[in-house]
Amino acid sequence: MKNIMSLTKRNLLLFFRDKAAVFFSFLSVIIILGLYILFLSDVQVLNIKQVVGEAEGIKPLVNSWVMAGLIAVSSVTLSLGALGRIVADRENNSINDFLVAPIKREQVFISYLFSTLIITMLLSLVLIVIAEIYIVSSGGVLLTIVQALKVLGITILCTISSSLLMLFIVSYLKSEQSLGIFSTIVGTMIGFITGAYIPMGIMPKGIQLISNIIPVSQGASLLRKVFLEHPIKEVFTNAEALKEYSKLQGIDLYLGSFELTPIFMIVMIILSIVIFSILNIIRFKRMKNK
């Protein structure tokens, strides 16, 4: 355990010393937030007003929706940024030094996973605080203790799932250039997958189906349900309009006509954690020292 903690500390220090790595981990979040503030916010507010008319809480509702999506997106982008260390170590052969040292192979990779989980959770917590400040400043209300605990629990599940998935993929990347290309692709796609750029309900049915079975999209849905619990009741008094809005905005997810319940989505995210854990164990057992 001492070796794991020492290597984890080393990975944490290297990450936080690299200001560029921290910045680019947040880049997708910054882009989505920038697009939202400059263009998308007013469009969403206008669309809701066309349905419900002038109503209290529309701005906090829209802000809560986008912030929930950003927290889900960050679980992927932050974990990918943190895992850049494993690629850098492979490129400069530092990882080979670890593997020939009197350290067990699994300890090396567990340390990468631990440092990634710590980095992603710490920065996600910062983002949650920023989200709450932003929502309250626009006229919204603070999350209750129960709601805050739900957000924390969902964020932890998303972080573990995303980190394990990214660890598996990154283990195949051998250069920082390939990581940069992959990060660009992920950063571009993740906003569409989670419905952060455009509402999930206006995407083609095939894309909706794929997006709705991805753990991070389910995490975004769960977070939106918590963040929007108060403002959505304040804005929508018509049950039919509420149902349509929830489906359009990716608050409620569907596979065909089947609505994914919160319990179902939580079970699916936990199942993804189990699957990704098994895949990583198989992957690292097959990796050979070079």
Q: What integer pLDDT is reported at residue 96 of this predicted model?
A: 65
| Strands (DSSP E) found in 168-271 | 254-255, 258-259
From the list 258, 235, 281, the residue with the least C-alpha distance to 58 is 235
pLDDT at 102 over 80: no
From the list 66, 81, 63, 117, the residue with the least C-alpha distance to 220 is 66
Q: What integer pLDDT is reported at residue 272 of this predicted model?
A: 96
Q: What integer pLDDT is reported at residue 248 of this predicted model?
A: 85
Distance CA 241, CA 36 (A): 23
Confidence of residue 290 (pLDDT cuts 50, 70, 90): very low
pLDDT at 121 over 60: yes
pLDDT at 219 over 70: yes
Confidence of residue 29 (pLDDT cuts 50, 70, 90): confident
Better-scored residue on pLDDT, 199 or 158 = 158
Q: Choose the weakest-confidence range: 50-54, 150-154, 237-241, 280-284.
A: 50-54
**What value does the mean pLDDT take over residues 137-162?**
94
Alpha-carbon distances, residue 214 vs 63, 135, 243 (angstroms): 23, 27, 22
pLDDT in tens, 34-45: 877 777 777 778
pLDDT at 46 over 90: no
Distance CA 134, CA 37 (A): 12
Distance CA 81, CA 269 (A): 21
Confidence of residue 289 (pLDDT cuts 50, 70, 90): very low
Q: Helix, strand, coil % (nearest 5) of the chain?
A: 80, 0, 20
245 φ/ψ angles, rounded to the nearest 5 degrees: -65, -45
CB atoms < 10 A from the CB of 47, how many?
15
Q: Choose the weakest-confidence range: 29-43, 246-260, 270-284.
A: 29-43
| Strands (DSSP E) found in the chain | 254-255, 258-259
From the list 228, 267, 283, the residue with the least C-alpha distance to 60 is 228
pLDDT at 48 over 50: yes
pLDDT at 81 over 70: yes
**Which residue type sits at 124?**
S
Distance CA 167, CA 109 (A): 9
From the list 114, 128, 125, the residue with the least C-alpha distance to 83 is 114
Share of the chain above pLDDT 70, in %: 96
- Threshold 0.75, pTM exceeds: yes
Q: What integer pLDDT is reported at residue 101 of this predicted model?
A: 64
